[in-house]
Amino acid sequence: MAGSPEAGRDGSVWRPYHDEPLLTPAMTGGPGACPPWEAVRLRRYLEALITARTAPVHTAVAFNAVYFGFDTATGGYVGGPLDFADFAPVATGDRVDALPVGAMITVRTNGDLVPAEVVYKEGAHALLGTDGDMPGWLSGAPAAAQGPGLLAPDPEPCLRERLVFDTGAFGRALSAPAERLSRLSRRGAIDAFGHLLVESRYTGPQAEMDDTAFYVEHLLGPGRDVLLSPLVPAPLPFLLPRGSGLSSLRSALTGLVETVREALEALPGVRVWGDYAFSRSSMAARLQNRGPLGRDDLEHVALSIARSGVPRPMRHGTGQAGAAYTAIGPALRSLAHARDLLRGTAYPLAVCHANTVVADYTRGESDETTGLLPNGVRLTLDDPWQGGGVWRALSDESVDAAPGTGWRSSLTHGAGRPARPVWLPDDSEVGAPLLPSGQEGRAWIQPLRSVHLRDGLLPVPPDLMEDMPSGSLRVRLRHSGPTEQDTGTSHGVHLQLKAGGVARIGWPDDFFPGIRLSCVWEPGTGLITAATQPLAEPLSVDGRPVRHRYDRHVLTRDGHIPADTYVMIAVRRFGYLDAYGRAMLARQHLPEAVRLAMPDIRRPPVPLDETVGQLIADGLLTIERGSRGADGRPHYPPRSREPLLDLLCYRPQIQYPQSAPRPGDTQAGSGAVVRRHRVPGFLRLIGHLGHEASEEQRRLFREDHDAFGLAGSSELPPGYTYVRPHHRGSARPAQAAPPLENV
C-alpha cells in the first residue's frame, strides 16, 4: 500500500515521501507520550533499517533515517534537503570542527565528491598501543588531560578521533567501490582501514558530552538550516502546534531522539552496546564462525584482557598487583589475519561484537559475591569511548569499579574526587524565562509554579522589571479553558517589585503547576498579554488531564504526586531534572533527601528500602544506572569517564485519555487501536506517477512554510506535492490525505 496513509499499519515498512510521516507530534513528548500504534510503526522501520545498514546503527543515525528519509527498500536517503555541496570536506590528518556521529561529510579528494555519513567514532589518542595497551591515566581522562593528573584547561580542546563513514548511505549508485577507497587510502585521504583520523576541535562543554547529546547540539547549531528545511518528510516545526515558536525546538528534538533511542532498545531481535544497535543474528553468525574475527578470535581477546590483570611472577615471589588497561579497537586491529575484515563499516560492528563478548564473559564468569573472575581478576569497562572501549583488569576485589578509575587513580592529594551533591536544586533551572529577541514588544515564556498560582503572581524577568512603570498595569489573559472559549480576562493590578512580578491576579481554576504562558509587554501601553497554548492532543499526566503546553520541570517539582509518600516527595523535590522532566536521585542520598523534604519526621514509619520497593513494584519509581559528574549531578544515560550510580528515577506517566476502544476507532495491523490523532504536514512524491502539484497545493505550502517558520525556499520541489496537516482516527470517519488526482 505504498502511498497510502495507512501504509506502515498493515505490516509494511515506512517509505519516506510515499507514506505519512513516521515521526509524529506525540513523539516530541518523549517515549512516554508515544501511542502504541505509532511505536509499532517506528520499531518495524528500525528493524528494517538495522538490516539495511552495514554498520551498527547509532541513535543519531537512526534519527537521521526517520527524519531525513532513508528508504530501506532502495538502501539510501532519497530526496530531502541533503545537498552534497553543503557537506563538510574531511580527510585524514585534518583539523576540523568536531563532528558528531550522524554528521554528513564528503571525503576530501582531488576528484569527484565522495559523500558519506559518519556512523561511528572513537578516541584515537597517540598513546594507544598497537595491541591495545595504554597508560592507565588515559582511561576516562577528560578532554583537558595532558598527562597523569595533569590538566591544561583549553576552551577549544583538540582530540584525536577515528571517524568511520558510510558511502553507501545515499544509495548504491553513489556508494564508493572498494577499489576507489583503496586509491584514497594510498593517497592518504583515509587510513589503511578506510577510516578518517582527524584532530577534532571542540568548544565549551561539547568535549564532555556523549555522542547523542552532542548530535542534538549540532542539529540546533551548525545543522539548524537542514533541521528546519521544508524538504524533509515532516519538518520539526510541523510537529508542533502552529505558532509554538523556536523556543520549543530543543525540547521537541530531544523528545524525538529519546523516542528513537528507546525504540531501538525495545527491539527483540537487537542488542545494544552504548548507543549502537546491531542485530542478534549478526552476533550469532560471528560466534558460529570459526575463522578470522569469529568465536575463537573474540574469545582470545576476552581471555587476554582478563589475563592481563594477573600479577606476573617475579624472581622473589609474585609481583605487585597493578591494573592493566586494554583498548578493544587496537587489540582487534593487531590481529594480522583479520585486518581485511576490519575495513570500512565492518570495523564498528566487530568492535560492538567484541565488547559484547567481553561483557557477557565477565557477567557470566564473575563470582556474584566478589565480582572476580575465576583467575581472581576484576574486569570492568573503564572508558567506553577511547579506542573503542577500554577494559580495566586488576586482581583486587576491593577497588573502585566505576568508569574512569584509570584517570582518577593518577590524581594526587584527593584532586578529582566527585563533589558532594548539592541538595537544594537551583530554581533558576526550573521555569527559567526565555527571552526571544527581534519580536515586537518585550516577550518571554513563563511557566507558573505552585507559589505563583497560590499568590496570584505573574513573574516578570528582572531586566523587564527595571523598565516597567511602578504604577498600575493591566494583564490580559488569553486562555482556552474546558469550554474551549477564549476568556480574554483583563486584570488591573499594581506592580510589586518585591514580589518579583505582577501580583493580585485571579488565575483560572483549571490552571496547574507548570502551565506555560507566552507573555508580551508592550512598552508605553501598560499592558501585558499572557496566553496559554493548547496541546494538539490532550494528555493525561500521572492520571490528571493536561490540555495546554507545560514545563516538564515545574510539573515534576510542583505537580500532583500520585503516591503521597516522603520518598516520592524527596525524589521529585531534590532529584536532579533532565530534559524530559525526569527526577533522578542517587539512591545512597535518599535518607538525607527525606530529612530535608520532611524535617518534622524524625524517623519514617516504614523503612526506606521497603517503601522504595513498593513504589518500584507499583511502577511509580524505577532504578536506573547513571553516572555522576564532577559537580555531583547525576547523568542518565551514564556518560563516559564518569563513576556509575544507582538512581531512583521518577518518570511522569504520560498517556492519552480514554484508552479504551470507542465507536469509530480503527484497528492497526498489529491489533492496536488507532485513536484520533493529528498528522503533520508532509511532502509526498508524485513525480514517478507523472503528476505535478497543483497551484493550490503550492500556495498552501508557501503559507505553511511561513507560518511554521521553516528555513530555505518556500517553493515545492519538482515531483512533490504537499499534504496539509489533518486528523486521522476515531470518533468520526478518518480524514484521508487528498487523493492524487486532486493534487
Per-residue pLDDT tens for 160-180?
999 999 999 988 767 777 788
Hey, what's the cell of 680?
Answer: 503533520
- 234: in domain: yes
CB 582 within 8 A of CB 556: yes
Q: From CA 582, how far away is CA 340, in angstroms rounded?
A: 45
- 125: in domain: yes
Please indicate, yes or no, whether residues 249 and 290 belong to a single structural domain of this protein: no
Please indicate, yes or no, whether residues 85 and 201 belong to a single structural domain of this protein: yes
Please indicate, yes or no, whether residues 118 and 195 belong to a single structural domain of this protein: yes
Q: How confident is the model at residue 148, as a pLDDT? A: 87
Residue 733 has pLDDT above 50, yes or no: no
Pairing state between β 95-97 and 196-201: parallel
Q: 558, 725, 687: which is closest to 18 by C-alpha?
A: 687
Please indicate, yes or no, whether residues 124 and 203 belong to a single structural domain of this protein: yes
Please indicate, yes or no, whether residues 307 and 381 belong to a single structural domain of this protein: yes
Looking at this protein, which amino acid is placed at residue 434?
L
Q: From CA 345, how far away is CA 329, in angstroms rounded?
A: 13
Cα–Cα–Cα angle for 729, 242, 739, rounded to 5 degrees? 45
- 355: in domain: yes
Residues whose CB falls within 8 Å of the CB of residue 211, separated by 6 or more in sequence, listed in order:
58, 59, 60, 100, 101, 121, 275
Q: 123, 119, 129, 128: which is closest to 55 by C-alpha?
A: 119
Please indicate, yes or no, whether residues 256 and 128 belong to a single structural domain of this protein: yes
Range with the lowest mean pLDDT among 556-560, 676-680, 699-703, 716-720?
676-680
Q: How confident is the model at residue 736, as a pLDDT? A: 39
Mean pLDDT of the chain: 80
CB 31 within 8 A of CB 259: yes
CA distances from 194 to 48, 60, 91 (A): 26, 21, 11
Looking at this protein, which amino acid is placed at residue 502?
V
Looking at this protein, which amino acid is placed at residue 735?
Q
CA distances from 147 to 137, 139, 141, 179, 203 (A): 7, 11, 9, 41, 21
**pLDDT tens for residues 177-203?**
778 888 888 888 899 999 999 999 998
Residues whose CB falls within 8 Å of the CB of residue 158, separated by 6 or more in sequence, listed in order:
95, 199, 200, 201, 202
Residue 442 has pLDDT above 50, yes or no: yes
In the sheet where 442-447 sits, what is the strand order?
A: 442-447, 516-522, 527-531, 472-478, 489-496, 501-502, 458-459
Q: Which of 625, 652, 679 is the endpoint of a domain?
A: 652
Query: In angstroms, how far is CA 681 from the centroid of its own chain?
Result: 24
Q: Which of 409, 442, 466 is the endpoint of a domain?
A: 409
Q: 591, 632, 570, 629: which is closest to 420 by C-alpha?
A: 632
Q: From CA 60, how far away is CA 275, in angstroms rounded?
A: 8
User: For residue 673, what pLDDT band results from cuts at 50, 70 and 90?
Assistant: very low
Hey, what's the cell of 114?
Answer: 565522495
The percent of residues above 70 in pLDDT, for the chain, comes to 81
**pLDDT tens for residues 202-237?**
987 788 888 998 999 999 888 988 999 888 988 998
**pLDDT tens for residues 280-314?**
999 999 999 999 999 999 999 999 999 988 876 65
The domain spanning residue 580 has which CATH number? 1.10.10
Please indicate, yes or no, whether residues 502 and 635 belong to a single structural domain of this protein: no
Q: 516, 529, 452, 453: which is closest to 488 by C-alpha?
A: 529
Q: How confident is the model at residue 111, as a pLDDT? A: 67
CB 551 within 8 A of CB 559: no
- 23: in domain: no
User: For residue 4, what pLDDT band results from cuts at 50, 70 and 90?
Assistant: very low
Q: How confident is the model at residue 414, as a pLDDT? A: 39
- 174: in domain: yes
Please indicate, yes or no, whether residues 504 and 609 belong to a single structural domain of this protein: no
Q: How confident is the model at residue 731, as a pLDDT? A: 46
First-to-last alpha carbon distance for the chain, in angstroms, is: 19
Residues, the chain: 743
- The backbone torsions φ and ψ at residue 235, rounded to the nearest 5 degrees and listed phi first, read -55, 145
Please indicate, yes or no, whether residues 242 and 294 belong to a single structural domain of this protein: no
**pLDDT tens for residues 613-672?**
888 888 889 888 888 877 677 777 777 667 888 899 998 887 755 443 333 344 444 444
For residues 322 and 59, the model is more confident at 59
Hey, what's the cell of 582?
Answer: 525526569
- 42: in domain: no
For residues 546 and 493, the model is more confident at 546
Greatest mean pLDDT among 126-140, 487-501, 710-724 lies in 126-140
Residue 143 has pLDDT above 70, yes or no: yes
Average confidence (pLDDT) over 364-376? 81
Q: Which of 236, 269, 302 is the endpoint of a domain?
A: 269
Please indicate, yes or no, whether residues 534 and 625 belong to a single structural domain of this protein: no
**pLDDT tens for residues 247-293?**
678 888 988 999 999 999 989 999 999 999 999 999 999 999 999 99
Q: 718, 736, 740: which is closest to 727 by C-alpha?
A: 736
- 297: in domain: yes
The domain spanning residue 431 has which CATH number? 2.40.330
Query: Which position has the grid cell 524517623?
Result: 603
Please indicate, yes or no, whether residues 510 and 631 belong to a single structural domain of this protein: no
- 122: in domain: yes
Number of structural domains in the chain: 4
Q: Pick left, alpha or beta for residue 669 (phi over 0 → left; psi -120 to 50 → alpha; otherwise beta).
A: alpha
**By residue range, what is the domain housing residue 488?**
427-542
Please indicate, yes or no, whether residues 451 and 360 belong to a single structural domain of this protein: no
Hey, what's the cell of 48?
Answer: 528494517
Beta bridge partners of 279: 270
**pLDDT tens for residues 32-72?**
778 888 999 999 999 999 999 999 999 999 999 999 999 99
Residue 483 has pLDDT above 70, yes or no: no
Average confidence (pLDDT) over 372-386? 90
